[in-house]
Amino acid sequence: MADIADKKPNVNAKVKKAKGGGGGGGGGGGKKKEVKKETGLGLTKKKDENFGEWYSEVVVHGEMIEYYDISGCYILRPWTMAIWEIMQAFFDAEIKKMKIKNCYFPLFVSPAVLEKEKDHIEGFAPEVAWVTKSGKSELEVPIAIRPTSETVMYPYYSKWIRGHRDLPLKLNQWCNVVRWEFSNPTPFIRSREFLWQEGHTAFATKEEADKEVLEILELYRRIYEEFLAIPVVKGKKSENEKFAGGLYTTSVEAFVPNTGRGVQGATSHCLGQNFAKMFDITFENEKGEKAMIWQNSWAYSTRTIGVMVMVHGDDKGLVLPPKVASVQAVVIPVPFKDADTQAIFDACLKTVEELTEAGLRVEADLRDNYSPGWKYSHWELKGVPLRIEIGPKDLEKKQVRLARRDNSSKVDIPMVDLVKEVKETLEKIQQNLFDVAKQKRDASIQLAKTWDEFTAALGEKKLILAPWCDEQAVEEDVKARTKGEIGAAKSLCSPFDQPELPEGTLCFASGKPAKKWTYWGRSY
Ligand code: 86X
C-alpha cells in the first residue's frame, strides 16, 4: 500500500499573488505567461508518475482538505462539505420516501454494551478509541468512542420493539465515527474519524429485509454513477469479506485505474437475526407468538469524495462533476488594456444573476489583484466544471466564451442562449466524466481463467473477473499466494449481473468446478 503516503504535500509552492494586468485577451488566454504562472500555482506531481503525492497535493491545493496535527485526521474544508451536503440532500430525501427516519444516538459507548457484541468485536478491538480521563482524574469506567453504532442502538431496539405493530423500525443517523486505524491513512479513503450515514432497520420478515438491502444499494449506485460520475459494480461480498456480524453483505465497488485498486464504495448488509439474538430483540407476531426480528444495516461515508478525486482528477488538479460541484461555473472578466472594465464587470454580474436565477450554482471572480490567467489556473485546480470568460470582444459580439474543465474545449456562445447552453454543457460534462471513467474502468477489466492469467493480470493493475469455486479456504489461499509489498489480492464482489458460466468451467485458483464469476484485485 505504499502508493499513497500520508504525507503533507510540499507546500513551498505557496500561492503567490500574480501581478495584475495582462492575462488572456478577448477570452482566448495569453499562453506563455499563464503556463509559467500555472506551475507556480499548480501541482508539482503528475497523476501518472507519482499518484500518492499527486493525490495529497490535489486535495490540499484544491482546498478540500487541510492536514491536521493528529495522524489520520483531516480538516474538511467548505469545498468538501458542500459536496457532502449535496449528496446528503439527495440520499436523505430518498430514504425519507422509504419512511426511514433520522435520529441521533450518543458518541460514547459503555464497555459493558460494547462487550455484548464480543464475538464480532474481537477482531476490531485494536481500532476502538477510549476516553480514560476527565481533566486529570481517571474515569472510574473508561468509555469507548463509537466505531459503528450497532451496540449503541440495538439495546434500545430491544426496548422499543414489543409487538408486530412496532415494525418495521427504520432509523438512520448522520454522524461521525472513529476507528483507530494503523495502516497508512489517506484523506477521505482511510481516516481515523469520518462522516457517514448509518441506517439500521428492523423487520418482521426476511423478505422485507432482503428487499430493502437492494433498494438502498441502488441509492448508493446512484450516488456514485449519477452524482460522482463513477461507474460501480453491484454485487455480493464473499464469506471472507462480508460483515462478520451479518448474514450477507452487498456492496458497490469502484475501481481506481491508476493504482489498479478496487475500492468498496458503500455497503448494504442483511444482518439476519444474529443481532436479534445477541440483543434479545423479539416481538409478538400476529398469531401471538414470540418471534425474532430481521435486521439490516447500511452506510456510505466521506470516502465517496476520495474516490471522486482519484478517478476524475488530473495534472491540473480536481475535476468536479457538475452535479456535486458547489460552484458549477465561474465567470471571469477578461479586461484588456483600455477596454471598458466596468461594462465587462457588469456583464459578469448579469451572467451570474441569470444563471443563478435558472437554478445553477455560479460565481464571478471579480478580484482585481489577480490576473485572468491566474484565476483560470486557480479554478482549474479547484475543479470547477465550467469557466465563462467575458472580454471586450465578447461584449462587442454579444457572446461569452465557455471553457470546459473536463476536456479543455472552448466555444463562444451568444449571450441570448446563455442559460440553455450552460445547462446543456454541464449535462455533457457530467455525462462525459462518467463515460471516460467507465471506458478506463472497462479497459482495466481482465478475464482470468487460470492462476497464471490471474497473477499476470494482477501485475498489470487489472480488475480481474475470474470463475471461482466460492470456497473460503481458497480465498485465504489466494491472499497468501499474492501477499507482497503492495498488499494481497482479495475478492471484491460477485456481480449480480453474472456473465454466462459455461458448464465445466473451473475455478482459477483451485481447479474445482466454478460456481460464479467474481471480481478480484488489490483494494483500498
Ligand atoms: C463493521 C458494519 C456496519 C453499520 C456497516 O458496515 C454499515 C453501518 N455498521 C461495520 N465494522 C464494525 O463492526 C467495527 C466494529 C468495531 Cl468495534 C471497530 F472498531 C471497527 C469496526 N469496523 C467495521
Is the distance from CB of 306 to CB of 318 less than 8 angstroms?
Answer: no
Q: Can you tell me the distance from the alpha carbon of 381 to that of 319, in angstroms, rounded to the nearest whole number?
A: 8
Does 175 sit in the ligand 1 pocket, CB within 6 Å?
A: no
Backbone angles phi, psi at 384, to 5 degrees: -60, 125
CA–CA distance, 401 with 394 (Å, rounded to integer): 8
Calculate helix-pair angle for 418-444, 341-357, nearest 10 degrees.
70
Give the alpha-carbon dihedral of 315, 316, 319, 322, to 10 degrees: -150
Q: With a 6 A CB cut-off, is 53 part of the ligand 1 pocket? A: no
| Per-residue cell: 482 | 499474492
Beta bridge partners of 131: 143
pLDDT tens, residue order, the chain (524 aa): 444 546 666 544 443 333 333 333 333 334 444 444 444 578 999 999 999 999 999 999 999 999 999 999 999 999 999 999 999 999 999 999 999 999 999 999 999 988 887 777 778 999 999 999 999 999 999 999 999 999 999 999 999 999 999 999 999 999 999 999 999 999 999 999 999 999 999 999 999 999 999 999 999 999 999 999 999 999 999 999 999 999 999 999 999 999 999 999 999 999 999 999 999 999 999 999 999 999 999 999 999 999 999 999 999 999 999 999 999 999 999 998 887 999 999 999 999 999 999 999 999 999 999 999 999 999 999 999 999 999 999 999 999 999 999 999 999 999 999 999 999 999 999 999 999 999 999 999 999 999 999 999 999 999 999 999 999 999 999 999 999 988 999 999 999 999 999 999 999 999 999 999 999 999 99
**Opening angle at CA 247, ends 244 and 251, nearest 5:** 80
Residue 200 dihedral angles phi and psi, to the nearest 5°:
-135, 110
User: Which is the closest atom of ligand 1 to the Cα of 267?
Assistant: 6
Q: Is the CB of 181 under 6 A from ligand 1?
A: no
Domains of the chain are 74-312 (3.30.930.10), 319-439 (3.40.50.800), 448-523 (3.30.110.30)
Atom 12 in ligand 1: residue holding the nearest Cα: 148
CA of 127 to the centre of ligand 1 (A): 10
Beta strands in 42-151 (DSSP E): 65-67, 74-76, 101-102, 108-109, 130-134, 137-145
Q: At 260, is the secondary structure helix, strand, or coil?
A: coil
CA angle 216–218–220, rounded 5-degree value: 75
For 260, 287, 349, 458, 464, the CA distances from 453, given in Å and listed in that order, are 16, 57, 59, 9, 10
C-alpha cell at 231: 461507474
Report CA(86)–ligand 1 centroid distance (Å).
25
| Residue the block writes with cell 451570474 | 352
| Cell numbers given for 255 | 475501481
- For the record, the C-alpha cell of 180 comes out as 483507530
Distance 366 CA to ligand 1 centre (A): 47
Ligand 1 center to 223 CA (angstroms): 21
In the block, residue with C-alpha cell 407468538: 289
